[in-house]
Amino acid sequence: MKKIISLLVLLVVFVSCKEEKKQDTEQIEVSQEEKERDINDLLVFESTLMKQDIEGAEYKNIQFSNEGALFSGSVNNPSYIKLPLIDLDLSKEFNLSFSFNSKTDDGTKPQTFISFTDKYSSPTRDIPLFVYFAGKRITGVYGNQKLWAEKYDKDLGESKAYYDSYQLPPNEVFFVSLNFSGNSIEIFVNSELYASFSDISPHSKMFEKVILGGLPQGEGYTTLLNGSLHSLKIFSTALTEKEIVQVYNDQPYIGASK
């Protein structure tokens, strides 16, 4: 009888310990889930760009549809969106994400996606931040550092490796996410790594204007976009690859238009 009681006690202790271990495992899993951040808390700006609804923005020759904002101006009659000043420190981590559709097959004319400018800005000199389309490839300027090489090295200068980056054809929607982590810049296209730039030096240039679709030059605008932008999101920190996939998956589907 004593043996039976002892066995029953051991069985109860064993089951109890197993249950406690299970609860501990569940608590660890919950804790890990709780640590996953909500990227919406990191947003400093977002707009679908599907209608004229950004408070304080200036719109010039912009048409709207389910493709987003359509830019189709000329040098004499430019189209652009001047955004209200955004609370973003370009010397620290950040992320820019958006989708675009180029409407021209002419890769010889650079086209602006977004420019953070001051009164001295120039793509041939320096600019706080300039993200644009050239040679049907995505590139940019950060301070005085030109993102023209697939693997940028400031000691090597403007590498021809930029031309190894693959071209993006017109009349097709692409998702772009530019990630600045403090000493490197990565560009993702459709959530996959497109180009990376190491040894980037953070700068402290203050921007005065944020422009979509064009770069201010004197009294006018240059490098005008011929195409559409939609679903612009700006985050106050760099995103993980998993988070970039999440932003990509959240983009509304827009089919190609010929």
Written as tens digits, the pLDDT of the chain (258 aa) is 555 555 444 444 444 555 555 555 454 444 444 467 999 999 999 999 999 999 999 999 999 998 999 999 898 999 999 999 999 999 999 999 999 999 999 988 999 999 999 876 665 567 999 999 998 999 999 998 888 755 545 555 554 455 567 899 999 999 999 999 999 999 999 999 999 888 899 998 899 999 999 998 888 899 999 999 999 999 999 999 999 999 999 988 775 443
Cα–Cα distance, 86 to 168 (Å, whole number) = 29
Q: Give 98's strand partners.
A: 176
Q: What is the DSSP letter of 190?
A: T
| Continuous segment of H or E residues that includes residue 5 | helix 2-35
- Spatial contact of 240 and 248, defined as CB atoms under 8 Å apart: no
HSE of 64 in the Cβ direction (CA atoms, 13 Å)?
Answer: 12
Residues 6+ apart with CB under 8 A from 53: 47
pTM above 0.85, yes or no: no
Parallel, antiparallel or unpaired: strands 111-117 and 68-71:
unpaired
CA 212/CA 79 separation, integer angstroms: 9
